[in-house]
Amino acid sequence: MAQSPNTFPLRSRTTALVAAALAGLLVLAGIMISPGTAHAASVTATVAKDSTWDSGYTASVTVKNATGSTVNGWKVELTLPAGSSVGSHWNAERSANGAKQTFTNVGWNAALAPGASTSFGFTVNGTGEPTACTVNGSACSGGDLGPGPDPTVPPTNPNASPVQEHGKVYVCGVNLCDEDGRPVQLRGMSTHGIQWFDHCLTGGSLSALADDWKADIVRLSMYIQEGGYETNPRRFTDRMHDLIEESTARGMYVIVDWHMLSPGDPNHNTERAKTFFAEIAERHADKDNVIYEIANEPNGVSWNSIKSYSEQVIPVIRAEDPDSVILVGTRAWSSLGVSEGSSHTEITANPVNADNIMYTFHFYAASHGNSYLSELERASNVLPIFVTEFGTQDYSGEGANDFVAAKRYLDLLERQKISWVNWNFSDDHRSGAVFTEGTCTAGGPWAGTSRLKESGVWIRDQIRAGA
């Protein structure tokens, strides 16, 4: 069944993970019924903010069966103050009567065994927090609506790698979350096409990216045409296997980038994509750090065509790897359609029929001004977005750097907890490549700033600032 445009399903979570996430909640007193009024053995509900922005927030509700018998069906009622309303929701049915918002179970999460939990979520347009909450007619318990886990809290082990710190990530509402349900923002670099700049990807350069740059993630860009995968599928697939292993050994997340660009219709490569992703997923399904990007920059093609392609390729990945994040390219060079006169609303009206997916957005700060930035902000309130490519230059990845415009984007991405990778980790002659020409041929040095262009120094600072 096709999903409603207002729903984005959570991956199912174990009771232990839910309990761990709840343990980290910050309590904001006086908003909802105090825990002291809860029944000793009942169905309970706990509400928490997951992320906030200037005009709204995302919240999640965990319903738990604290009785000794199975509960079949639940209903949570929340009252929002004037000026605030629910936008999107997931993992529950919703109805509204004035200020009262009623959420009820969907088929798969109706029955709760003794001690079992389930969660649903929603976005709020406005900053007002619920003034009342009931679950199955009784007062909610287990904590008030607070600001949620603090994403700035350092890991218990300051020497932990990104993957050790966050574990297997998944999509929760409009956010990327770590294994404990905490919204997370990953920052890192994209390689250039490995058919041209494979010599920039060595043990030394990847170690510098992980240890000196403090990158959380690396995007491995494998062009399909333009001298790439289609010329020698076996060689390029084997190289991607090697790079995934190398990046995994350094504790970084990995985006496996199916870098289709010309022709712009991803359906031109559907069978190739199925072959490639089936092998990649089968080989690396046991890893916690692999993310699949199935179409780099669709262009000159409708959203319906992109959706059709995605719904053919995603099941191939899911057959081998049922719960890793998959990234779906958007219309008009992954601009959410803006570069071809459209917007994110064509996606919300007709989303890809798959779970645990995000939609990609690309920008180049010197070319893509306020209309792109505004569309990204609107889309990120209702869609899970991942910026898998951006530059501080023009859309061709060259020319003067516009760090002021780029910082406006990065500030928005930080507020919305949107993960990003920068283009690109090579010594190409264009200003968007971070290393000076000849660095890769010379074998470095990779760490520090001595061989970095202006853009490289700037982006390294931005990545390190999030470490």
d(CA 276, CA 272): 6
Residues 115 and 34 in one domain: yes
Residues 106 and 212 in one domain: no
239 closest CA partner among 267, 197, 209, 211: 197
Residues 220 and 134 in one domain: no
**Alpha-carbon distances of 128 from 35, 84, 149, 238, 239, rounded to whole Å:** 21, 6, 19, 52, 51
Worst-scoring range by mean pLDDT, 11-15, 28-32, 304-308, 438-442?
28-32
Worst-scoring range by mean pLDDT, 48-62, 214-228, 289-303?
48-62
pLDDT digits (tens, 9 = 90+) for 338-396: 999 999 999 999 999 999 999 999 999 999 999 999 999 999 999 999 999 999 999 99
Residues 171 and 123 in one domain: no
Number of domains comprising the chain: 2
Residue 297 known to be catalytic: yes
Is 276 domain-assigned? yes
Would you say residue 203 has pLDDT above 70? yes
Is 154 domain-assigned? no
Last residue of a domain, one of 120, 139, 158: 139
pLDDT digits (tens, 9 = 90+) for 301-337: 999 999 999 999 999 999 999 999 999 999 999 999 9
Is 230 domain-assigned? yes
Q: What is the mean pLDDT of residues 45-49?
A: 86
Would you say residue 410 has pLDDT above 50? yes
Is 5 domain-assigned? no
Range of the domain at 278: 166-465
Beta bridge partners, 75, equal 104
Tell me how crowded residue 2 is: count the other CB atoms within 10 A of its CB.
Answer: 9
Is 160 domain-assigned? no
Residues 191 and 121 in one domain: no
428, two tokens:
């190409």
pLDDT reported for residue 145: 52
Last residue of a domain, one of 86, 121, 139: 139
pLDDT reported for residue 407: 95
- Residue 103 contacts by C-beta under 8 Å, 6 or more apart in sequence? 61, 75, 76, 77, 78, 89, 92, 93, 94, 120, 122
d(CA 256, CA 384): 18
Q: pLDDT: is 62 or 407 the higher one?
A: 407
Residues 119 and 221 in one domain: no
Q: Which percentage of the chain shows pLDDT scores above 90?
A: 67
Residues 90 and 174 in one domain: no
Q: 63: domain CATH number? A: 2.60.40.290
Would you say residue 134 has pLDDT above 50? yes
Residues 225 and 284 in one domain: yes
Give 434's pLDDT tier (boundaries 50, 70, 90).
very high
Is 153 domain-assigned? no
pLDDT reported for residue 157: 62
Is 224 domain-assigned? yes
Q: 183: domain CATH number? A: 3.20.20.80
Residues 108 and 211 in one domain: no
332 closest CA partner among 365, 366, 305: 305
Give 158's pLDDT tier (boundaries 50, 70, 90).
low
From the list 297, 346, 375, 377, the catalytic residue is: 297
* 230, 235, 240, 241: CA torsion to nearest 10: 140
Is 363 domain-assigned? yes
d(CA 438, CA 156): 40
- Residue 75 contacts by C-beta under 8 Å, 6 or more apart in sequence? 102, 103, 104, 105, 135, 136, 137
Would you say residue 92 has pLDDT above 70? yes
Worst-scoring range by mean pLDDT, 80-94, 236-250, 267-281, 285-299?
80-94
Would you say residue 98 has pLDDT above 90? no
Residues 266 and 410 in one domain: yes
365 closest CA partner among 329, 341, 399: 399
135, two tokens:
């679950």
d(CA 382, CA 384): 7
d(CA 172, CA 144): 20
d(CA 318, CA 177): 19
Residues 117 and 187 in one domain: no
Give 153's pLDDT tier (boundaries 50, 70, 90).
very low
